[in-house]
Structure 1
Amino acid sequence: MNDASSPKRDYRDTVFLPKTDFPMKAGLAAKEPAILERWARIGVYEKLREQRAEAERFILHDGPPYANGDLHMGHALNKILKDLVTRSQSLLGKNTPYVPGWDCHGLPIEWKVEEQYRKKKLNKDEVDPVQFRGECRAYATKWVDVQREQFKRLGVMGDWDDPYLTMKFDSEAIIAGELLKFAERGQLYRGAKPVMWSPVEKTALAEAEVEYEDITSTQIDVAFEIVEAPNAPELVGAHAVIWTTTPWTIPVNQALAYGAEIDYGIYRVGVGAAEDIVPSMSIPEGRVDQRMVIADALVGPFEKRTGLHLVRTGGIKGSDLAGAKARHPMHARGEFYAKPRPFLDGSHFVTTDAGTGLVHMAPDHGEDDFLLCKANGIDPVFAVTDDGRYREDWAWLGGDGSVINPKFNASGNGAKFEQGPICRDLREAGALLSGSDDFLHSYPHSWRSKAKIIFRCTPQWFIPMDAPLDQPLPERVREGHAVGEDIAEATGMHVNEDAPTPKSATVNHNGATLRDTALDSIERTRWVPERSKNRIRSMVEGRPDWVISRQRAWGVPIPLYVHRQSGDYLRDEGVNGRILEAFREGGADAWFAADHQALLGDRYDLADYEPVNDILDVWFDSGSTHAFVIEQRYGEGVRADLYLEGSDQHRGWFQSSLLESAGTRGRAPYDAVLTHGFALDRNGRKMSKSLGNVVDPLKIIDQSGADILRLWVASTDYFEDVRIGDEVLKGTSDAYRKLRNTFRYMLGALEGFGDEERIAVDDMPELELYILHKLGALDVELRTAVENYQFHRYSRALIEFMNEDLSAFFFDIRKDCLYCDAADDPKRRAYRTVLDTLFHALVRYAAPILCFTAEEVWQARFPSEDDSVHFLTWPELPPLPGDDAISTNWSDVRALRERVTEAIEPLRREKIIRSSNEAEVTVPELPLPADDLQEIFISSTVHHGEGEVAVTRTDNHKCGRCWRCLPDVPEDGALCGRCEKVLNR
């Protein structure tokens, strides 16, 4: 035996161990900022736009977050998802411009600036509006800059140097221009009807600006004495009983509603209390023998609330109440209350689910109330002011409020509050039958101030949902929305029919309404997941006219002139042109500091016109962004390939964008919409500072790196709500570590690999072909996942392939070949060739998710100051023989390998053997030659035998170089035949 085969020799310097400087420890928190700086230095985003200028374009339009605070987990989830989409589409070779944007107007910013005024005990209403708007602009600018850096730190690639802002002058001009397209066609009206109103913020709110929370309210039963009943004279003198959870609306009551098919009983109040009834109010003197009208189905609950014992003396159908009238309990308080209240047929909303079966109507404060009363000639009275008080001249409780204050409404039946003025006065009038302050129900709140809102009838500007879009609205407005002669001048709205309709406002809708057009657009849009289509469709089907006006200071004004006498708003192309030019030069501030006579021009006298001072609903702002982001940058008529936001945007940005574009362009501004869920804590609860369960994405980035957060997002089924916490992040970090180590192994194993070593597919062993088949299947799976925006499916497939198919199987089997075969051995060359193919594919596949790590991996193998992994496109895999038998056969081999591994494990635990190399394996079938199975099982020998898999310790000696226990090793430490040949060469 020569010196080379001496059993005492250390052969470690003769094996090809992987070599790489790529560190096992990631250190992402420190590395990622440097990578970001390098990307900015070489202009990765800009170079990609140049490289893909002629490629198919894919536009993901960014829904604008509000510029008012640090990013939270919802922001992180949303922005990372968008980046996964754009990077994966870019990987497919497309041109994927991404223009981030911010919503800079509206209450979120204005409210914060007002808070600063309140801390200084200043009144913002006394400040010049242009000065106040300047402070709002400065506040928004500060947070745009803060959030921009935070979003960039997530690895989100986009045009950060030129984002879109709704407060840019050009943006404000285009927003105003989009509104004027509706106005020029006569598709605006000003009318008075109930809208959601915040008494704290003193403005109307959109549905998307409201959240619902459980509260306890006062519930009361109130008696209205019937004074006329032509169809049922026996009712005169009886009391119609109503039940309400909004006592503050009783001072604005104008009618009572009944259900025509409901059975009502006429009940006499008996002497004793009903069995098991605990009275909630003391029974007023004289109540005994009083007659009451209540729905038969609701008498039991009524008795429990009141403690009254009722005896039925007769009954009527609801239809018998037609033509009846009742007296308001406060009929002695003046002319408004002295007028008897009519009974109206409210069959479409009056039920016997709760209450008494009779509903009091306050058209100022409810949609059903308003519509029913208006149909019967009853107009709102505007008794409640913008801060939630009754106006000073109101006959009952004038100047009092706030109307939604629990103390103001309190029944006094409980220890929390003393009886409020409404219940006190009703009790003194003998009309209060019951009251309690513990009625639990869901109630709308402003999601900014968190204060309760009310429904309040005010003059507002509307875009109609059900008027033909190709026709103006004179008749609809004049007759459908006039609200009474006393306020006609203030709220009636007509269009100037004599003014020519500008060509720019002409869209051929063939008589379709905005609702029709929007619903048709929904059907033509791809919704991901598909079930989300039903959600937005139901919302559009049932939504009221679009309230587009707000009573605030910070936003785009509604740039209209209203004729002081006729109430017509001016439609003149020349005037509108001058308005928009002023906006382009000075922004929307120009309206508040304008020479309005100059804008009107010589044809009109400012003395005849009043400028509108309301601002636009901020959802109209964001709904118009497609016009100044997509069309302005890419051409008229271009629309987004995808909108991507949280599920709450079905009533927000998705819908406002749909309605705006449907009204001005006859279609949606997007081809597809992706909806994701919300980020919850580890227990599935909404994150809240008060609960102390907020998971801060900025802290995760500082501690673990953005790629961990990105991998978490990609691994979640974000079509549903997703959870995050320490345990979830630990699992994500473990998955990341395995992926990183797989790349590290490949980098080391490919050290020195070049084209001269590459081997043709036809010359490869079957195991290499099998892995290439698996890679091809993965490729198909990932492409499908990208097409369907299923990145949880994408990441799972990628992780399973890298962990199970490669690290635990392919790499494990071929490590002996890599380490110990001759450098030019065909099998080793085939292995390294496949490793190179795997590397080029996997680093690309990983790049959309692990954008920083993929760059680090790529630069570790192909260092270049000007290059980036993100310039690469989807890998082109080598063509393979179309032999499905390879995959089938190797699936059987892998199953057998698992059985062998399970059989070896008990011997390893009992320390009979230390590794599988010391195992002699007997198997019942040989799907491959025994020598091949020996390598696959990483065992000493493999034999064919009967029965189950069997394992024993081998008597073979261990090779001093490859450490395999083989029959041809004469003694421990000596060389096997393969290793001796390698060294002798």
Structure 2
Amino acid sequence: SRALSAIDQTRFVPAGGQNRLRAMIEQRPDWVLSRQRAWGVPICVFADAEGNVLQDEKVNARILEAFEKEGADAWFAEGAKERFLGADHDGERWQMVRDILDVWFDSGSTHTFTLEDRPDLKWPADVYLEGSDQHRGWFHSSLLESCATRGRAPYNAVVTHGFTMAEDGRKMSKSLGNTVTPQDVMKESGADILRLWVMSTDYAEDQRLGKTIIQTNIDAYRKIRNTVRWMLGTLAHDHGDEIAYADLPELEKLMLHRLAELDQLVRKAYDEFDFKRIVRALSDFANVELSAFYFDIRKDTLYCDAPSSLKRRSALFVIRKLFDCLVLWFAPMMPFTTEEAWLSRDPKAESVHLEQFPTVSADWSNEAVAEKWKGVRAVRRAVTGALEIERKEKRIGSSLEAAPVVHVADAELLKALDGLDFAEICITSDIQVVAGDGPSEAFRLDDGTKVAVEPKLAEGKKCARSWKITKDVGSDPDYPDVSARDAQALRELAQAAG
């Protein structure tokens, strides 16, 4: 009953493990701890012919001292009986028990001589982690031993995983030649690739592993690494400016809102051992929302705006926050990559693994901005779709050669675009947004969005610095090859250089 009560007080991941272990404990017979074997950990007691066990602290102390110095073989050494009994007991009456302990009792005792004997650890364990077969093994024996000697389970939580199978779902076998060893994966691709595979699997079930699956994880890893590397390069220009939230552009507020959402997801998923959810959420965020959206839009600002530009300083401030969050959130999963990135950012830091998860301000949560930008991105997708066709047909080389006319028949979408530099958001040199359905030949998406796009070419000259095509290139005689914005930036840089 003590063991069954302990099961009820233990957290199981997945939850079905609780019922499985409970059923085994309820139906099991008494545990006979002794085994008659020629090897093993001896049951170190003396007994007489009537089954009485010798109880003498001095004898026990001599046995303990011998075991600490010589190991369990001291019990089987020549003269052991006389050595341990000493002169106080009759050697004819008291005989050494030659049985050994069940090996599962050995495994079930590991919690005491690991956790209780080390000052840097605590008892009980936070987590026991093993394969699903250990409901009958290690989880089982540890529970019974600990409940008998400590009154409770030696763990607060039990996490179980399935078995690793070959890529085609069959059992790995040397005879079939389908084995994949961790050492080979680490040698060829690095330990973080192997860890990323583990974290992205549904470990509650059997997992599959092979060359194709490893390559998929290599590709996913490279995308994450490239995102982090781009942020590192960008932050080389960061001077640590703190920008008040109220002064941030809306796009930066949107990114901080997403960090606030992800912070809740990541913390909850780590607490629930739901690593797959974290990998998916952070990978999608890095690839879709950062690399293909936010970074793409802000590259012009970061590369071409003057150092004093509020927009540029705001972008650097937010990228600093993005870097800290992503690296710290990924650190338990990819320890080597995140350590490299963290120390590259701050060589004086001791280790990323001595840091806590970042503090994300509750003020960053902004549902109004998030809802508005859903509309902005919907219109942007229509523009991007139209320009992709223009590129495919070789009517333009890049989006900066375009100045499309965007017809918006949805009043809410039109309102969402009000006050925004939509050309910057669409990465075009110019753009015109007008209300209405637009001509029938205009480009439209099939998703029902009431947006029509007329592709048109930008007018003016190409800026040698930003590559935008504008009518103000050459307006500053000191910088005849660039736009007015870029001329101002170059002048500021020249003044700063002295």
- TM-score in same-fold range (> 0.5): yes
Instruction: Please tell me whether the aligned partners of residues 679 and 721 of structure 1 are also in contact (alpha carbons under 8 angstroms).
Output: yes
Among 956, 959, 977, the residue aligned to 2:484? 977
Map of 1:728 onto structure 2: 213
- Asked if residue 519 in structure 1 is aligned to residue 26 in structure 2, the reply is no
Q: Which residue of structure 1 aligns with residue 248 of structure 2?
A: 764
Q: CA deviation at 1:721?
A: 1.4
Instruction: Give, in whole Å, the separation in 1 of the partners of 2:105 and 2:458.
Output: 82
Give the 3 Å change call, closer, same or farther, for CA 858–882 of structure 1 in structure 2.
Answer: closer
Q: Is the 8 A contact 2:254 2:366 kept in 1?
A: no
In the comparison of the two structures, how many residue pairs are matched?
A: 466
Q: Paired residue for 1:750?
A: 235
Give the conservation status (yes or no) of the 8 Å contact 1:930–1:943: no
Normalising by structure 1, we get a TM-score of 0.45
Report SS of the residue matched to 1:558: coil
Q: Which residue is 2:433 aligned to?
A: 943
Equivalent residue for 2:397, pick from 911, 914, 929: 914
Cα distance in structure 2, aligned partners of 1:955 and 1:562: 100
Shift of 1:809: 0.9
Is 600-609 or 917-926 further displaced after alignment?
600-609
Q: Matched residue of 2:172: which SS?
A: coil
**SS of the residue 1:953 aligns to:** coil
Aligned to 2:199: 714
Q: Matches of 2:365 and 2:110 in 1, distance apart?
A: 50
Structure 1 equivalent of residue 141 of structure 2: 656
Supply the distance in 2 between the matched residues of 1:956 and 1:931 (Cα, whole angstroms).
21
Measured after TM superposition, the shift of residue 818 of structure 1 is 0.6
What secondary structure sits across from 2:159 in the alignment? strand
Task: State how 1:848-863 maps to structure 2 within 5 Å.
Answer: 848-863=332-347
CA distance in 2, matches of 1:723, 1:533: 25
**Quick check: 2:474–2:484 contact (8 Å CA) kept in 1?**
no
CA offsets 1:219-265 (integer angstroms, 9 cap, x no match): xxxxxxxxxxxxxxxxxxxxxxxxxxxxxxxxxxxxxxxxxxxxxxx
Per the alignment, in what secondary structure is the counterpart of residue 949 of structure 1?
strand
SS, match of residue 956 in structure 1: coil
Tell me the residue number matched to 1:966: 470
Report how far residue 701 of structure 1 moved.
1.0
> Where does residue 385 of structure 2 map in the other structure?
902
Measure the CA separation in 2 of the matches of 1:637 and 1:739. 35
CA 550–960 in structure 1, closer or farther in 2 if over 3 Å, else same: same
Structure 2: distance between partners of 1:962 and 1:842: 29
**Offset from partner CA, 1:364-394 (integer Å, 9 cap, x none):** xxxxxxxxxxxxxxxxxxxxxxxxxxxxxxx
What secondary structure is seen at the aligned counterpart in 2 of 1:723?
A: strand
Partner of 2:423: 934
Match for residue 616 of structure 1?
101
Counterpart secondary structure, 2:425: helix
TM-score relative to the length of structure 2? 0.88
SS of the residue aligned with 2:218?
helix
Identity %: 50
Higher RCO, 1 vs 2 (CA within 8 Å, ≥6 residues apart): 1
What amino acid is aligned across from residue 368 of structure 2 in structure 1? A
Paired letter, 2:423: Q
Q: Does 1:578 align with 2:62?
A: yes
1:549 counterpart = 2:34: yes
1:902 to partner: Cα distance: 2.2
Equivalent residue, structure 2, for 1:787: 271
- 2:112 counterpart residue number: 627
Distance (whole Å) between structure 2 residues aligned to residue 674 and residue 813 of structure 1: 43
RMSD, aligned CA: 2.3
Alignment of 1:492-531 (within 5 A): 516-531=1-16
Confirm or deny: 8 A CA contact 1:759 1:830 kept in the other structure: yes
Q: CA offset at residue 752 of structure 1?
A: 3.2
Between the aligned partners of 1:836 and 1:753, the Cα distance in structure 2 is 8
- Partners of 2:65 and 2:35 in 1: how far apart? 23
Q: Is the 8 A contact 1:903 1:949 kept in 2?
A: no
Give the deviation of 1:794 after TM superposition: 1.5
The residue identity in structure 2 corresponding to 1:983 is: L
Give the alignment of 1:97-116 within 5 angstroms: none
- In structure 2, the residue matched to 1:824 is 308
Instruction: Please say if residues 7 and 18 of structure 2, whose CA atoms lie closer than 8 Å, have aligned partners that are also in contact.
Output: yes
Q: Deviations over 1:935-964 (max 9, x none)?
A: 111123132242332131314233232112
Indicate the residue corresponding to 1:671 in structure 2: 156
- 1:701 matched to 2:204? The reply is no
Q: Is the 8 A contact 2:401 2:457 kept in 1?
A: yes
Taking the aligned partners of 2:329 and 2:130, their CA distance within structure 1 comes to 24
**Higher mean Cα deviation, 521-530 or 868-877?**
868-877
8 Å Cα contact 2:199-2:333 kept in structure 1: yes
| Residue identity in the other structure for 2:245 | V
Residue identity matched to 2:454: V
> Which residue of structure 2 aligns with residue 310 of structure 1?
none
Per-residue deviation at 1:835? 1.1
Give 5+ residue unaligned stretches, structure 1: 1-515
Structure of greater Rg: 1
Superposed displacement of residue 680, structure 1: 1.2
Distance 1:718 1:979 in 2: 53
* CA drift at 1:852: 0.9
Distance 1:978 1:960, change over 3 A: same
Residues 881, 745 of structure 1: alpha-carbon distance in 2 compared, 3 angstrom cutoff: closer
Q: Tell me the equivalent position of 1:868.
A: 351
Q: Does the Cα contact within 8 Å between 1:597 and 1:605 map onto a contact in 2?
A: no
CA-CA distance at 1:549 after TM superposition: 3.0
Q: How much has 1:930 moved relative to structure 2? A: 6.7
Change (3 A) 1:557 1:921: farther
Other-structure match for 2:123:
638
Report how far residue 968 of structure 1 moved: 4.2
Give the counterpart of 2:299 among 800, 803, 815: 815
More helix, by proportion = 2
How many Å apart are 1:817 and its aligned residue? 0.5
Q: Which amino acid aligns with 1:918?
A: E
Counterpart of 2:375 (choices 887, 892, 902) is: 892
Structure 1 position 634, deviation (Å): 4.4
Query: Deviation of residue 888 (structure 1)?
Result: 1.0
SS in 2 for 1:576: helix
TM-superposed CA distance for 1:681, in Å, is 1.1
- 1:820-866, CA deviations, whole angstroms, 9 ceiling, x for partnerless residues? 111111100110111111122222112111111111112222123x7
Q: Report deviation, 1:573.
A: 4.3
